[in-house]
Structure 1
Amino acid sequence: MDIWTYQSVEYVSVAGEAWLASASEYPSSMRALWEARPWVPAVLPCGRVFDVISLPAVFGRRVLDELWASGPGCGPVATFRGRTLLFAQPGTAARLRTLLAWEEWARDVPPLLCHGIGDAVTVPPVQRAVDAADSAAGRWIVAPDTREPWLPGASVLLWACVRAARGRPARESGDPRPNTR
């Protein structure tokens, strides 16, 4: 099954919804909004529960493929307005931004938008309407499904970005730690 083209209705599980809502200052209000209108995108703050790395769509697909190929996979991933939103550990945005600017071998990586403390992102609806023909609201590629999803850290994302930019799998890139956080 190709997670990029599978045409199903994407749902965020109840536990995943609770995890997403916990990022809000008012989780109960966020859950009430989703209960009343589950097909509406929401804006959530970054930095406390998760950071979000926004990648160009095609590059984001390559990075996600790298994360799955080299293990251990990834946590929630969404698309919104032509970009791939990869949810990461809190603190990843600042660290990844610094690593990409500092490391000379990261020069092949296209510019990433790193959202951390003080930023907010629009997340896709927790449930996509069955008749939704347009994807303006975005969609979940990997929907949140637990209260504590595994989120990659800066080093995992850095190596995945470098491998994706160079077009080489983990075993050929010289990365001695493809499964580390």
Structure 2
Amino acid sequence: MEYVTVAGEAWLASASEYPRSMRALWEARPWASSVLPCGRAFDVISMPSLFGRRVLDELWSSGPGCGPVAAFRGRTLLFVQPGAAPRLRTLLAWEEWARDVPPLLCHGKGDAVTVPPVQRMVDAPESPGLGAGRWIVAPDSREPWLPGAAVVLWACVRAARGEARAAALPALPPQAAEEPAGALHPAPSA
């Protein structure tokens, strides 16, 4: 379980028009979700959770990693550079990418998103996809690295095409899946 650092909390609050009020709210209710506007400190790309997991794996394995990421109601929320949401929306409209990548919700200027609590209640039940959400990668600095539209696009395309390749592979027969490679079989007796 990830927790937001004091510096990360300051960064999140900077998205609000009233950062001091937001910090006061979190001080009084650190376990409560909050609604923050996009477009000032960050934009958010919301994707189905399984696909989001694949995109995160791509961002970390192919580089350069990612900044804050949250899980909320069955969705993965990837925090990206301000202005990246409309740019990604335009890039995804190209026919070449649109067929591979599942529909993404790109939240930019004029939109708002619900972010998980800055802290978790100790006795809060864990319910994937329900409740207040959780941080997968919590904000930990005042200026976290946020990917741009091109970085997210390529991670999405690689994740989608990797998924398609895996689905196209023929399934192994049940006995082949159980036998170790190079297993010796006794010669049939005559």
TM-score range normalised by the length of the shorter chain: 0.7 to 0.9
Aligned to 2:162: 167
Q: Figure out how many residues of one structure are paired with residues of the other and give that number.
A: 160
- When normalised by structure 1's length, the TM-score is 0.86
Q: What TM-score, normalized to structure 2?
A: 0.82
* Equivalent residue number for residue 46 of structure 2: 54
User: Residues 79-126 of structure 1: CA distance to partner in whole angstroms, max 9, x if unpaired?
Assistant: 001000000000100000000002513421000000000000000000
The corresponding residue for 2:115 is: 123
Check if 1:150 corresponds to 2:150: no
Partners in 2 of 1:129 and 1:71 — Cα distance?
A: 33
Equivalent residue number for residue 125 of structure 2: 133
> What CA distance in whole angstroms lies between the structure 2 residues aligned with 1:105 and 1:94?
16
Q: Indicate the RMSD between aligned Cα atoms, in angstroms.
A: 1.0
- Aligned pair partner of 1:93 in 82, 85, 91: 85
Q: Are the equivalent residues in 2 in contact too, given 1:106–1:162 (CA < 8 A)?
A: no
Counterpart of 2:177 in structure 1 is: none
What one-letter code is carried by the residue in structure 2 that aligns with 1:156? V
Map 1:6-25 to 2 at 5 A. Answer: 8=1, 10-25=2-17
Q: What is the identity, as a one-letter code, of the residue corresponding to 1:63?
A: V
Match of 1:171 in 2: none
Match of 1:3 in 2: none
Match of 1:107 in 2: 99
Deviations 1:125-161 (A, max 9, x none): 0001111114410000000000000000000000000
Once residues 113 and 81 of structure 1 are traced to their aligned partners in structure 2, the CA distance between those partners, rounded to angstroms, is 14
> Which amino acid in structure 1 is aligned with residue 146 of structure 2?
L
Contact 1:78–1:84 under 8 Å retained in 2: yes
- Match among 23, 27, 32 for residue 31 of structure 1: 23
- d(CA) in 1 for partners of 2:18 and 2:95? 39
Identify which of 45, 58, 61 aligns with 1:69: 61
* Mapped partners of 2:55, 2:100: distance in 1: 13
SS in 2 for 1:108: coil
Measured in 2, the distance between the counterparts of 1:144 and 1:103 equals 34
Aligned to 2:174: none
Match of 1:5 in 2: none
CA distance in 1, matches of 2:97, 2:44: 22
